[in-house]
Amino acid sequence: MEYFDRIARVLPEHPREAIGAAKELIESTAKVVLVELGEPVDERSDDLPGLISRAQRALHLHPASAASGPDGSDAVKKILGGLTSAAIGVAELRNRGYGTGHGPAQAPVGLRPRHAYLAVGAARTWCQLILDTLADPEAPWQRGKQP
């Protein structure tokens, strides 16, 4: 909730802050999933693309290994692939100096609120799917789990 509040406070006047918070939201969500499922998280060496991939695999939501049923359909796999790319894109946008967290040598040129809204929307969509799947008692990752 902290990240959602922060994003709401800074949009649209501070797009760099919103992009930085969107990246942090994705990172925190991936870590929450991994910790909840008993997977190790190394704060020093885990990069965001790796965390995203591991969280999606743990929930059976990785496009390469999605389960049967709707989650395993070609259409859902395409959407999952797009969401994975979108989440990684948020991190790349932030890392290229368009978000807070890395001190750029100069202010980014051309950054507009619409870029922040794009990044925030992508982050919210990815996080919502991940958290909804984590909480869903009938999600594919729940099958075979010990009671």
CB 142 within 8 Å of CB 73: no
What is the C-alpha to C-alpha distance for residues 105 and 123, in angstroms, rounded to an integer? 26
**What type of residue is 62?**
H
Q: Tell me: the pLDDT tens digits for 55-100?
A: 999 999 988 876 667 877 888 889 999 999 999 999 999 988 888 8
CB count within 10 Å of CB 107 equals: 8
Q: Is the pLDDT of residue 6 over 90?
A: no
Q: Is the pTM of this model over 0.85?
A: yes
What is the C-alpha to C-alpha distance for residues 84 and 52, in angstroms, rounded to an integer? 7
Q: Is the pLDDT of residue 105 over 70?
A: no
The mean pLDDT of the chain is 88
Q: Is the pLDDT of residue 147 over 60?
A: no
What is the C-alpha to C-alpha distance for residues 125 and 34, in angstroms, rounded to an integer? 18
**Least confident among 2-6, 22-26, 133-137:** 2-6
State in Å, rounded, how far the first CA of the chain is from the last one.
29
What pLDDT is recorded for position 67?
A: 67
Scanning the chain, the segments in alpha helix (DSSP H) are: 2-10, 15-36, 48-58, 74-93, 113-135
